[in-house]
Amino acid sequence: MVVADELPAVYGHKLSTVVPGSVTGETIVYELANIDLVMKLHYLRSVYYFKANEIIDNLTIQDLKGPMFPWLDVYHPVSGRIRRTDNGRPYVKCNDCGVRIVETKCGVTLEEWLEIKDSSRWRQLVPEKVLGPDLQFSPLVFVQFTRFKCGGMAIGFSWSHVLGDAITATNFINLWAQLLSGGSPKCQPIHNHKIKTEKTLIKSPTSLELLSVKQVELVGDPWLSLNNSKMATYSFQITEAKIKQIQAKESSQVSSFEIISALIWQCLAKIRKDKEPTLVTICKNDPSVKRSWLLSNEQKIGTVVSDFFPSKVAVSELASIIAKQQVIETKMIEDLVEGESGTPDFIIYGANLTFIDMEGVPLYELELKDQKPIHVDFSIDGVGDEGAVLVLQCPQKTYGSGGSGGKMVMLILPEDQISPLREALESAWGIA
């Protein structure tokens, strides 16, 4: 049994770089869309855990790196580096500088690691790098391979949101696994966005008119907005049986995402008291939308406003508001960014209390020669002070849990709100 306060150090860090198998050419650039630049201060972090067996044990670092050369041929902008135009607008120079690889070891078994009651354990297993301050040298993507004492393995994946949303990121890492397993790369195009620099007579919205974004001070070249609060993470599972029980109790026909979001919204409203949030942001990755491009930020971003204090409203009513009264702002958000300079800077996650539906994100499709992860940790860095809540899928058999299926919930909140929220959810609903 490993105590959380005695979290074992991950050691033996070895750094290397993998580049595309073919030369892209330094004259090739990838233009970032306005919505990409809106998301540039956010980062996606995920850790995939694979139990020890003969297949996983026999995978060498050469086996793991080998498929990366054709992989990066398909996704050549990922190996590039950020540059700026003369007017200051960022773009990706496709100069084949590569993806950074980290190899590490851990002195405990995978089972012992997953039993650690510390939701920030994953941070040792994925590079927490941000872009800058030397943008021209900063990799856009990191991959970390950690071997546990038992032979199990964790794959940590760090993705710059400026490249694309969660579905884009998981499709990217899943293609590497397909190539590792003997598959062939799909020849889907990389879309080079046409940047609108001409002046228009149509008045663009301002950040004050849109509720889902927060304009922050220009950050310059370190791409991370500073928080006023110390942020922390905590994750827990809600089984399918518990979700159905809550839905029946509330006489609610809404989705799992909506009922879970409503529960947490109400509990946080009670905790925050005179600062209870009547406005929340909803982000959804729509798997039904056919994606034409490999790299894109296509999630829907909207807001929901409660006319009453959420602490006084029934959970079923809050869930109904989330389901039926979203105001989608995605297209208007794109118009906030000035064409020539790519400014100003914004955050989406944590601008308001933000609920993110990750149901359509194929986290458990990362298969290494038919070996599926037994657990996946997923989080976001760069979240603002209002916090974010991710609702993720579970494997059918969840490692170390008392039930199967259901949803995993990742809380990203000010540190002093985590414990009160856990207590409130446990007291009222028997979860967390």
| Domain spans of the chain, in order of start | 8-180, 214-429
Q: Does domain 8-180 have CATH number 3.30.559.10?
A: yes
φ, ψ for residue 129 (rounded to 5)? Answer: -80, 150
Residue 249 is predicted with a pLDDT of 85
**Same-fold call for 8-180 versus 214-429:** yes
Short-list 186, 185, 170, 235, CA closest to 367: 170
φ, ψ for residue 354 (rounded to 5)? Answer: -120, 130
Residue 193 is predicted with a pLDDT of 59
Q: Which residues contact 386 (CB under 8 A, 6 or more apart)?
A: 277, 350, 351, 352, 353, 354
Cβ–Cβ under 8 Å, residues 285 and 260: no
Provide the Cα torsion 424, 276, 360, 167; round to 10°: -120
Q: Which residues contact 86 (CB under 8 A, 6 or more apart)?
A: none
Residue whose entry in the numeric block shows the structure tokens 């259901």:
406
Helix residue ranges per DSSP H, 58-160:
61-65, 68-74, 110-114
Backbone conformation region of residue 272, classed left if phi is above 0, alpha if psi is from -120 to 50, else beta: alpha
Residue 183 is predicted with a pLDDT of 86
Residue 192 is predicted with a pLDDT of 63
Residue 195 is predicted with a pLDDT of 45
Question: Which of 3.30.559.10, 3.40.50.720, 3.10.129.10, 3.30.2350.10 is the CATH number of 214-429?
Answer: 3.30.559.10
Tokens of 381: 């860095």
> pLDDT per position in the chain (432 positions), as tens?
454 556 678 999 999 999 999 999 768 999 999 999 999 999 999 999 999 999 999 999 999 999 999 999 999 999 999 999 999 999 999 999 999 999 999 999 999 999 988 878 999 999 999 999 999 999 999 999 999 999 999 999 999 999 999 999 999 999 999 999 998 876 565 666 544 433 333 345 555 579 999 999 988 889 999 999 999 999 999 999 999 999 888 877 899 999 999 999 999 999 999 899 999 999 998 666 777 678 999 999 999 999 999 999 999 999 999 999 999 999 999 999 988 889 999 999 999 999 999 988 999 999 999 999 999 999 999 999 999 999 999 886 655 544 457 999 999 999 999 999 999 999 988 887
Tokens of 365: 């499709």
Angstrom CA distances, 32 to 196, 220, 339, 384, stand at 11, 17, 11, 23
Count CB atoms within 10 A of the CB of residue 193. 16
How far is residue 30's CA from residue 39's CA, in Å, rounded to a whole number? Answer: 16
The verdict on whether omega for the bond into residue 139 sits within 30 degrees of 0, i.e. cis, is: no
Angstrom CA distances, 6 to 9, 14, 403, stand at 9, 24, 28
Q: What angle do CA 334, 340, 346 make, to 5 degrees?
A: 40
